[in-house]
A and B are shown apart, each in its own frame.
Chain A
């Protein structure tokens, strides 16, 4: 049942041109960011060589580009997923789902999986761009794998937050606005360097992955911030009428 819903959700995102256009725009933006980083790197490379700096393409091009890719994912998730539940409520189609022999948790899981899969092409294309630098350099495959995992976790979290906020309102645009607000707040929350706020910071928890370090603490942080909104969305649908 979860897979049936996930497939439906995926088709909803890419069955029309909106999803493809959003993905194409995200990809263009990332390509531009990559070339900008590469341009900067090529300009400072002679100085780095003369200083015998340990920093290379992985630190100065790939990691910043993938951090930007995470930010792009935070922009893309609400764009693709704003209508996940809000549109079902607005159009009256939620009655089809809630009158079916389907648990609210399965409904949320299916929709989340569909949205997560809809975001995966953006993750894979970003990783593809980073891996393409392997034609000229030798990026560390372990570090690339950790970065891919980090971006995957960002996509999972962004999909969960978007889905939850989409369950709270009837207008997809309102859901998108709320989701952008929540996700960018999580990203920029420690901008002032506040240590306490860094606990909530998405950027500071993603950074170890981009540096090739996969820590249990960061994994747990992503797991909590993904499962919590999904639980809230399930409770929301259960309160409406869905079986838990």
Chain B
């Protein structure tokens, strides 16, 4: 295994054309171990094309992708061993049980039957799927199917995880759970996440690349101490808020509103606030310049 900080995924000058249509152009990327990067853009911006090229599902018209130094299209068998891909729709066979789907994914990744069984049980435990092994994949809820798809992507313990809209269609609680899991996974791996949900970015990513009409229009390193404006139904004293784990500073703005500086991603804040009974009525992320990202996403192309 390579050391933390090593480049695990690298793309240079990637381009994909379908006839006269340019889906993606001059796309460069470097992703290191322990890093999670968000690939942002509105629908049709080229996120899924970029992910398909990086995941080996599409062949680039130009450029190269390297996984741990191995060219994805010249040494595909070697390079793909390091890769786990979760497409927008989990690639499950509906007539197979969850166990059979995970086994199949493991065998495809070259695991022996015994290794596949071991990996399947490990993944099910990690993803909270332990009791669902015999359920047909076609009968899984959206959230469970998403977790099962993630299980397929990481069954061979890949170094690089590429995820397309992992929380799309999940209810807030499921999305929250999945974000916590992804944050854990990103500690030892490189995670690339395509999304148009700023909550995903705020919770997981330290860097973002913004795509518009197939071009990279913005690369941004996000503030490591995000801020948020929060309104409480039962406002606590400033001091109590400052003592809340994950909150570095708190300032009352009046009418129940507070400005908080967070030490980490804000995903767990709601849970902590709820446990104190203060009742979070509104949450506005003002850190990470996320509003500026939204504006950049929808601006007309230059």
CB distance from A141 to the nearest CB of B (A): 39
Complex: chain A residue closest to B78, CB-CB = A101
Closest 10 CB pairs of A and B: A243-B76, A96-B91, A100-B108, A93-B91, A99-B85, A101-B80, A92-B89, A95-B87, A4-B107, A101-B77
- Confirm or deny: B83 has a beta carbon within 8 angstroms of a beta carbon on chain A: yes
Look across to chain A and name the residue whose beta carbon is closest to the beta carbon of B105.
A96
Q: A1-B110, A241-B56 are in contact. Are A95 and B91 (CB under 8 A)?
A: yes
Contacts of A11 in B (CB 8 A): 96
User: In the complex, are the beta carbons of B85 and A103 less than 8 A apart?
Assistant: no
A residues within 8 A CB of B77? Answer: 101-103, 243
Nearest B residue to A94 via CB reads B57
Set B55, B89, B107: member contacting A99, Cβ < 8 A: B55
Contact with B along A227-244 (1 / 0, CB 8 A): 000000000001111110
Q: Does A50 contact B (CB under 8 A)?
A: no
Nearest-Cβ distance from residue B133 to partner chain A, whole angstroms: 17
Interface residues of B in 68-120 (CB under 8 A from A): 73, 76-78, 80-81, 83-85, 87-89, 91-93, 95-96, 104-105, 107-110
Chain B nearest CB, measured from A108 CB (Å): 14
A91 within 8 A of B: yes
For the complex, what is the distance from the CA of A8 to the CA of B102, rounded to whole Å?
12
B59–A102 CB distance below 8 A: no
Q: With CB as the reference atom, state the residue of chain A lying closest to B113.
A: A4
In this complex, what residue of A is CB-closest to B83?
Answer: A99
Given A96-B108, A102-B108: A239 in contact with B93 (beta carbons within 8 A): no
Q: Does B195 contact A (CB under 8 A)?
A: no
Q: Is B58 part of the binding interface, using a Cβ–Cβ cutoff of 8 Å? A: yes
Residues facing B in A66-121 (CB within 8 A) are: 91-103
A16 to B88, CA, bound (A): 26
9 A-B residue pairings within 8 Å (CB atoms): A1-B108, A15-B95, A94-B91, A96-B105, A98-B56, A99-B83, A99-B84, A99-B85, A101-B77
Q: In the complex, which residue of chain A has the Cβ closest to the Cβ of B74?
A: A243
| Closest chain A residue, CB of each to CB of B82 | A101
Tally of B interface residues using CB under 8 Å: 30
Mark out the residues of chain A between 187 and 232 whose CB falls within 8 Å of any chain B CB in the assembled complex: none
- Whether A170 sits at the interface, judged by CB under 8 Å, is no
Within 8 A of B (CB), among A1-33: 1, 4-5, 8, 11-12, 15-16
Q: Quick check: A91 and B91 within 8 Å, CB to CB?
A: yes
Q: How far is the CB of A99 from chain B (nearest CB, A)?
A: 4
A92's partner among B73, B83, B87, B105 (CB-CB below 8 A) is: B87
Contact call B109/A240, Cβ cutoff below 8 A: no
Contact residue range for chain A? Answer: 20 to 34
Which residues of A sit under 8 angstroms from B56, Cβ to Cβ? 98-99, 241-243
CB of B140 closer than 8 Å to a CB of A:
no
Q: Is the CB of B167 closer than 8 A to any CB of chain A?
A: no
Asked whether B152 is an interface residue with its Cβ less than 8 Å from the other chain, the reply is yes
Q: Are A241 and B58 in contact (CB under 8 A)?
A: yes
What is the CB-to-nearest-CB distance from A147 to chain B, in angstroms, rounded to a whole number? 35
Tell whether B296 is near chain A: CB-to-CB under 8 Å. no
Bound-state CA distance A15–B136 (Å) is 12
Cα A99 to Cα B56 in complex, Å, equals 5
Does the CB pair A241–B108 fall under 8 Å? no
CB distance from A73 to the nearest CB of B (A): 24
Residues of B within 8 A of A241 (CB): 52, 56-59, 73
| A-facing residues in B183-212 (Cβ within 8 Å) | none
Bound form: Cα–Cα A99–B108 in Å: 10
What 7 additional pairs, Cβ within 8 angstroms, besides A238-B59, A241-B58?
A: A91-B91, A93-B92, A96-B105, A99-B56, A101-B77, A101-B110, A243-B76
Q: Which residues of B contact A93 (CB under 8 A)?
A: 91-93
Considering the complex, give the chain A residue whose CB is closest to the CB of B109.
A100
CB pair A12–B95 under 8 Å, yes or no, is yes
A residues less than 8 Å from B96 (CB atoms):
11, 15
Given the complex, which residues of B lie within 8 Å of A239, measured CB to CB?
59
Taking CB atoms, residues of chain B closer than 8 Å to A98 are 55-57
Q: Which residues of A contact B91 (CB under 8 A)?
A: 91-96
Bound CA–CA A4/B104 (angstroms):
8
